Amino acid sequence: METTEIFDIVVSVIALSVAFSFGKTEYFPIILLTVGVGFVAHELAHRFVARHYGAVAFFKAWPEGLLLMFAMAFITGGQFLFAAPGAVYIYSSSLSRRENGIISISGALMNCLLAVLFLFIGLAIGIGFGESQKALDLATAFITFGTFTNFYLAFFNMIPIPPLDGSKVIAWSFEVWAAFMLLLVILVFFVPTFVL
């Protein structure tokens, strides 16, 4: 991985974590961990799968996306984020729609896997460290930020508007996109979550 790519990832992770911390600055370290891991794993999933299909793929920060993200966080009081501070740019003359769709959905699938992982970490902290308020607060933060934020990142990226991943998934298979999006809508909007 090139130095500029690493720099762009680090800047994007910090910016995304700051935006997600709007109104919740006391949780910044946990947000940095959970959102940072979710964002990096999402983008690296795209990069890995694209390279598996023989494409040239690298991460690049998107300055306009960073500004829009902060503007939306400020305007909505942190309730809605345009969570696209950068992306993996993919170059290939031979990718099929199916391959491009699989590359595009891989990031959101990684976020769903991480959401479940953070849920179990939060539950383990809550169960394993007794009834102390500090342990319960930590468990709740992992469940809230690690689980909900990763499901949110998956949902946001599946919106079928270019340049978001959903537009490429829907171009490959409307059925796959619709089934996955329905699941994400349920997980993000209808499954009860802890509110800090």
Show which residues are catalytic.
43
Which residues, at least 6 apart from 36, have a Cβ–Cβ distance to it below 8 Å?
13, 16, 17
Q: What whole-number distance in Å separates Cα of residue 105 and Cα of residue 86?
A: 16
Q: What whole-number distance in Å separates Cα of residue 92 and Cα of residue 11?
A: 27
In the chain, where does DSSP find H-type helix? 3-20, 28-52, 63-75, 97-128, 133-141, 149-157, 165-172, 174-185
The closest alpha carbon to 81, from 159, 27, 7, belongs to 159
The encoded tokens of residue 184 equal: 């994400």
Q: What whole-number distance in Å separates Cα of residue 39 and Cα of residue 54?
A: 23
Residue 86: how many other CB atoms lie within 10 Å: 22
CB 169, CB 101: distance < 8 Å: yes
